[in-house]
Amino acid sequence: MILALIAFTYTTIHFPTTMRDLLAGAQQIRNQISLLALPDSYMVWVDILLQPNQIVLVGFSIAVRFVISVIGSMFGGGFPGEPDSTAPSPGGPSPFSRWG
């Protein structure tokens, strides 16, 4: 989340036009939801929770998580202490070993 906030702030400072375009797109999403004619009990939550800057920040968070996962997969294995999936199982041969 901290990296997403850093990316959000960096984009705002160095690419203000791009950030304004992202915020305008997020406002369009919010406007499209309001056209659904939902009851007021739902629309109040849309008004509270779906602010354009929050939508953009969630998008940055998803993008940063994706980049981190791609970089993590390029630089190797899993987490420390995680069993190696290529190691033979201690219980003997698996009945699924012929599946590839």
Low-confidence ranges of the chain (pLDDT < 50): none
CA 66, CA 68: separation in Å to the nearest integer? 5
| pLDDT score at 97 | 72
| pLDDT score at 50 | 87
Task: Write out the DSSP string of the chain.
Answer: -HHHHHHHHHHHHH-HHHHHHHHHHHHHHHHHHHTT---HHHHHHHHHH--HHHHHHHHHHHHHHHHHHHHHHHT----TTPPPTTSPPTTSS-TTGGG-
- Kindly report whether the global pTM for this prediction surpasses the value 0.75: no
